[in-house]
Amino acid sequence: MNRSDTFEISPGGLFHGALRVPGDKSISHRAIMLGAIAEGHTRISGFLEGEDTLATLAAFRAMGVTIERDADRVSIDGAGLHGLRPPVAPLDLGNSGTSMRLLAGLLAGQRFDTTLTGDASLSRRPMRRVTEPLARMGAWIDTTAAGTAPLHIHGGRALTGIEYASPVASAQVKSCLLLAGLYAGGATRISEPMPSRDHTERMLEAFGCPVSSEAATVTVHGGPTLSACDIDVPADISSAAFFMVGASICPGSDLTLRHVGVNPTRAGVITVLRAMGADIAVLNERRQGGEPVADLRVRYAPLHGVAIGPEVVPAAIDEFPAIFIAAACAEGVTTLGGAEELRVKESDRIATMAGNLRLLGIDATALPDGMVITGGRLGAGTVDAHDDHRIAMSFAVAGARALGPVRVLHCANVATSFPGFVELARTAGLGIRGT
């Protein structure tokens, strides 16, 4: 697959037709993980063939699980809860925070040691948010002095369920502890300040493992048997978001995004864009393997600024780079607060987005926990994606509305979540070239 490092976008493109973006990243990771520790044969369709999810797949192969893959179809011979084998080398998880944090939980209760490593960005991201509660369960995990990867997980520890009130609404923290909870004695109960995405809970249920959820508290009991099942992965709403914003800001656009996952814990981008005046129709809503799915028809509409409060942040956490582009093209002021988590993503997304928007002539002020953006005319220029896939794709769609050509540098990590982005965007009508 093409791994372009620079995008060049000509102004004046639009988005039309019907397309399906690649599979949901969060669900693809979880399907590999649960399939690997289930009993029996799990078949996955619509699997995301991105570098992040392939890193998870490779990690389980390295732990002795037989996994076959033909494009987006994957079949897994489950090893059972206690059937993983010690890997002979550290597990390299590349850019993938989800792989590292969820695996930390799943591996804390194994009989063998493992070491988890990642690229420069992943090695800067905070891991104490998982290693501290895991230690309370009885795990023993070494980090750097800064609380970052590499993680060395000592095996042979007896874990005990805990009650944990997470200070952050994070599905990675919650899922890490739920996976550790499968190996722990008794109940593991996790509460969050606001509900984060619930794919782990839904998928555990699909594999026959009961999870009780009440408001923002979930509970799992140790020692279940997971039974293999078939998983149909919907298209990723986080990848669809770039096209939703592109179609909303480019006059003449009329785009249908097929089979998109619209789980309410993920669909905040629809709420925010609609509040800005976007024309988004949610069509043919249906359920597929425990997850709600729909087709989204997005037509151009003039947008206006809005105040985005903390209550919508967890359900749109990965979509703010794209939402900031919508705000830059909207009339008036958009404000966001309560989103300090954006500072610890693949890049500091508040700093990188504000800096790049200003380079293109937009009035954008970074706040510790959000941003203030006054809509205007995007100018031509060169911006740096800082190796962050979502920053790269956000400025790619922004280029369609700029006054002249836009170049985006350091885009290669788009392959972590959206292989084929340039080709698909071009098919839809964006004037983009990757080199």
Residues that bind ligand S3P (CB under 6 A): 26, 98, 170-172, 175, 197, 317-318, 341
Cα pseudo-dihedral 85, 153, 98, 423, rounded to 10 = -60
Provide the 8-state DSSP code for 215: T
Cβ 202 to ligand S3P shortest distance, Å: 12
- Give 54's contacts (C-beta < 8 A, 6+ positions apart): none
Cβ 324 to ligand S3P shortest distance, Å: 16
d(CA 79, CA 85): 9
Nearer to ligand S3P, 295 or 346 (CB): 346
Catalytic residue among 295, 318, 384, 388: 318
Nearer to ligand S3P, 305 or 321 (CB): 321
- Give 382's contacts (C-beta < 8 A, 6+ positions apart): 359, 406, 407, 408, 409
d(CA 49, CA 106): 22
Nearer to ligand S3P, 91 or 316 (CB): 316
d(CA 350, CA 323): 12
- Token pair listed for 422: 């340039």
Check if the beta carbon of residue 247 is closer than 8 Å to that of residue 255.
yes
Check if the beta carbon of residue 294 is closer than 8 Å to that of residue 283.
yes
- Token pair listed for 207: 């594999």
224 cis-preceded (ω within 30 degrees of 0): no
C-alpha pair distances (Å), 62 with each of 57, 65, 93, 100, 153:
9, 7, 12, 15, 16
- Give 126's contacts (C-beta < 8 A, 6+ positions apart): 147, 148, 344
Cβ 317 to ligand S3P shortest distance, Å: 5
Cβ 129 to ligand S3P shortest distance, Å: 8
Nearer to ligand S3P, 5 or 341 (CB): 341
Cβ 73 to ligand S3P shortest distance, Å: 21
In 207-346, which residue ranges form alpha helices assigned H by DSSP?
237-249, 268-275, 320-328
- Give the residue from 293, 261, 245, 223 showing the smallest Cα distance to 26: 261
Nearer to ligand S3P, 26 or 356 (CB): 26
Cβ 214 to ligand S3P shortest distance, Å: 20
User: Max Cα separation, the chain?
Assistant: 61
* 232 given a catalytic annotation: no
- Give the residue from 81, 261, 263, 101 showing the smallest Cα distance to 175: 101
Cβ 4 to ligand S3P shortest distance, Å: 22
> What is the chain's length?
435
Nearer to ligand S3P, 39 or 340 (CB): 340
Nearer to ligand S3P, 238 or 334 (CB): 238
Q: Which residues are designated catalytic?
A: 318
